[in-house]
């Protein structure tokens, strides 16, 4: 079942700053549904839900303006392909490395790219805290790193900031609890060489979907998405991450910085 015109309209209304090719996003949707029947990557597979919670949500990163300059970026813990895949589709000039610890998922990602003719994604399999160790090829390699639904911000920063080159940015995609998470993560961010420079509010005004001819259930879903309190925490890498970080995952988790 392809995406209908109204679903494409939902993505466009929610992410007006992104260029949406309906055929490509429809193909990505079909692939997501097919993949999910084989390996479980998401609980959201209805057309309106996937259009908003996966596609538009991923594209909201563009609102930071940081993609205008960056050409190389990293998605940490990409799972079924979010946010990296929609970004790669919308921004063909971007090179997106997509990292996940589960081989099944990075293999599926490779297959998705072959099926959809996506040539600007490089799947990478491994654990974040191992690949970003000092001396490794991935350490401080990326001017732009982002992640969705991987961990709370303190843990997340230790998993992601070591990948960011000095002067680059890490964007954490967060929900309405971001203020509390920021408080918890304050010392971790400083220790790892970062500084929170901005919170980008990506919630939408309630009327944004009014003119789109969606059914009642879809409207409820769209309004819920609009008011879900999503925010992007933008952290700038000011100094190199000290060689002691990242620690082993058990330590990161047991005693966040």
Contact call for residue 80 and ligand SAH (CB under 6 A): yes
In whole angstroms, how close is the CB of 159 to ligand SAH at the nearest point? 6
Least separation in angstroms between CB 93 and ligand SAH:
22
Among positions 29, 82, 146, 178, the unique one binding ligand SAH when judged by CB under 6 A: 82
CB of 173 to ligand SAH, least distance (A): 8
Task: Give the torsion sign (CA, 223, 225, 227, 228).
Answer: positive
Q: For residues 94 and 71, is the Cβ–Cβ distance under 8 A?
A: yes
256 binds ligand SAH (CB under 6 A): no
Nearest alpha carbon to residue 29 among 13, 52, 12: 52
Helices 178-191 and 153-160, axial angle in degrees (round to 10): 40
- Does residue number 174 form part of the binding site for ligand SAH (CB under 6 A)? no
Tell me how many residues contact ligand SAH (CB under 6 A). 18
From 191, 197, 131, select the one nearest 157 (Cα to Cα). 191
Of the candidates 224, 222, 176, the one whose C-alpha atom is nearest the C-alpha of residue 199 is 176
Q: Is residue 100 near ligand SAH by the rule CB under 6 A?
A: yes
Q: Rounded CA gap, 63 and 66, in Å?
A: 8
Q: What is the DSSP letter of 50?
A: I
> How crowded is residue 216: how many other Cβ atoms within 10 Å of its Cβ?
7
Instruction: Report 109-148 residues binding ligand SAH (CB under 6 A).
Output: 127-129, 148
- Residue closest to ligand SAH, measured at CB: 79
Considering only the stretches 8-16, 65-73, 78-86, 239-247, report the one whose residues sit in contact with ligand SAH under the rule CB under 6 A. 78-86
Please, which residue, 105 or 169, has the CB nearer to ligand SAH?
105
**Residue 53 sits in the site that holds ligand SAH (CB under 6 A):** no
Interaction site with ligand SAH (CB under 6 A): 77-80, 82, 99-102, 105, 127-129, 148-150, 159, 249
């Amino acid at each position: 079942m392809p995406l209908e015109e109204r679903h494409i309209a939902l993505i466009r209304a929610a992410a007006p700053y992104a260029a949406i090719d309906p055929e490509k996003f429809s193909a990505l949707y079909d692939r997501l549904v097919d993949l999910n029947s084989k390996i479980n990557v998401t609980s959201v597979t209805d057309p309106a839900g996937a259009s908003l919670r996966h596609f538009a949500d991923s594209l909201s990163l563009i609102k930071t303006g940081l993609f205008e300059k960056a050409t190389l970026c990293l998605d940490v813990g990409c799972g079924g392909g979010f946010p990296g895949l929609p970004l790669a589709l919308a921004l063909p000039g971007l090179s997106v490395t997509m990292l996940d610890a589960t081989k099944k998922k990075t293999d599926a990602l490779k297959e998705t790219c072959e099926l959809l003719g996506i040539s600007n994604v490089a799947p990478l399999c491994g654990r974040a805290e191992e690949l970003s160790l000092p001396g490794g090829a991935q350490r401080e390699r990326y001017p732009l790193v982002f992640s969705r639904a991987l961990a709370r911000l303190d843990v997340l920063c230790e998993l992601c900031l070591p990948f960011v080159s000095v002067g680059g940015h890490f964007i954490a995609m967060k929900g309405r609890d971001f203020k509390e998470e920021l408080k918890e993560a304050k010392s971790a961010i400083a220790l790892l060489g970062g500084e929170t420079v901005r919170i980008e509010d990506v919630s939408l005004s309630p009327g944004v979907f009014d003119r789109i001819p969606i059914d009642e259930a879809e409207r409820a879903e769209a309004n819920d998405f609009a008011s879900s309190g999503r925010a992007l925490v933008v952290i700038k890498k000011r100094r190199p991450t000290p060689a002691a970080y990242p620690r082993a995952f058990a330590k990161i988790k047991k005693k966040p910085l």
